[in-house]
Amino acid sequence: MFIDEATIRVFAGDGGNGCVAFRREKFVPRGGPSGGDGGRGGSVYLESSENLNTLLKFRYNPEFRAERGGHGEGSDCHGRDGEDLVITVPVGTVALDPATREMLWDFSAVGQRFLAARGGRGGRGNARFATSTHQAPRTAEPGQPGEKRELLLELKLLADVGLVGFPNVGKSSLISRLSAARPRIADYPFTTLEPCLGVVALDEERSFVMADIPGLIAGAHEGRGLGDRFLKHLERTRVLLHLIDVAEHSGRDPVEDYATIMKELVSFSPTVAAKPMLMVASRVDAAGDSHRLFTLREFCRAEGLELYEISSVTGEGLEELKRALWKKLAETPKIPAADDRIPATFRNPTL
């Protein structure tokens, strides 16, 4: 099951209490305060891992608690520090404040670590309060409580190219021909129910990642069909590949198809809609004498859009499309580093 959103609650450990104690030993007539400090509470960290690809585990276990610190003891014994808790998340996860939806951290690479909740400081024992004028203090501090926080986690797939288009236009067939991905393929709408990634290789040294996004329909931003909830996975892509079905039996106008999808992209995010895009006439093997392909050619020529005609069944145009995508990726700047997208007030000082 692919889960790309989850809300979790994290609780750092409380600090241990300081101790009030006095030395009572043979041959030490005056003794003195010997209460030790409490231990520090464990902190909670989020860390990105390449071994996860979904937020499913947070659906059934939304609460995480670090260990509390041990209390101080006599004979100046310091309480044991609580163990830190490290929670692994998939690469591509974004941690947000659920109230304001401000970004706290963006896990864009393996091994990044974010301090989600800091453990409480241990209280001081009475040995720390002894002075020349107050030699037998009976005062100790309680441990400070650990931080607690609610976080909204969103998983956004890391891909170079994102496929968009109506349902059942050949997106899954295309990614299955260009990569080792094996999405569900069938002759009915909404076959793809969750995003799918595939690595497209040009040769041994050149490759890129392609993402197949569930199809859109008119009104997706209002929740129709599968809605636009999967469009967030396009925010990290650098190039969009817009597939339009030109098969004779399709019955839809290709220009209207293009306008409808672009309207849904703009409604979701103007930034996503403005990404570099290549147009693809899909299923040209079934176009026949249909005017759909001719209409799409003329429209793309008038709008200055690059059009590539392909067939995932026969393989026509696939190699040319791969080379064009690689060229477009080389011309397109990479997504900024994670630190450049995080407000300075939220940047983790511990990294």
Does domain 5-155 sit in CATH 2.70.210.12? Answer: yes
Q: According to the model, what pLDDT value does residue 226 have? A: 47
- Pairing type for strands 44-49 and 113-117 reads antiparallel
Region label for 147, one of left (φ > 0), alpha (ψ between -120 and 50) or beta (otherwise)? beta
Cα 231 from Cα 213, distance rounded (Å): 7
Write out the residue limits of the CATH 3.40.50.300 domain(s) in the chain.
161-331
* Dihedral sign from CA coordinates of 33, 39, 40, 41: negative
pLDDT score, position 122: 95
pLDDT at 345: 44
**Intervals of CATH 2.70.210.12 along the chain:** 5-155
The yes/no answer on whether domain 161-331 falls in CATH 3.40.50.300 is yes
Residues of the chain with pLDDT under 70: 1-2, 29, 181-194, 215-230, 289-290, 335-351
Per-residue pLDDT, 13: 96
**Residue 174: which of 79, 262, 282, 70 has the closest Cα?**
282
> In b/e form, how buried is each residue of 31-52, taking b as 16+ CB within 10 angstroms?
eebbbbbbbbbbbbbbebbeeb
Q: What is the predicted pLDDT for the residue at 351?
A: 37
How much is the pLDDT for 47?
Answer: 94
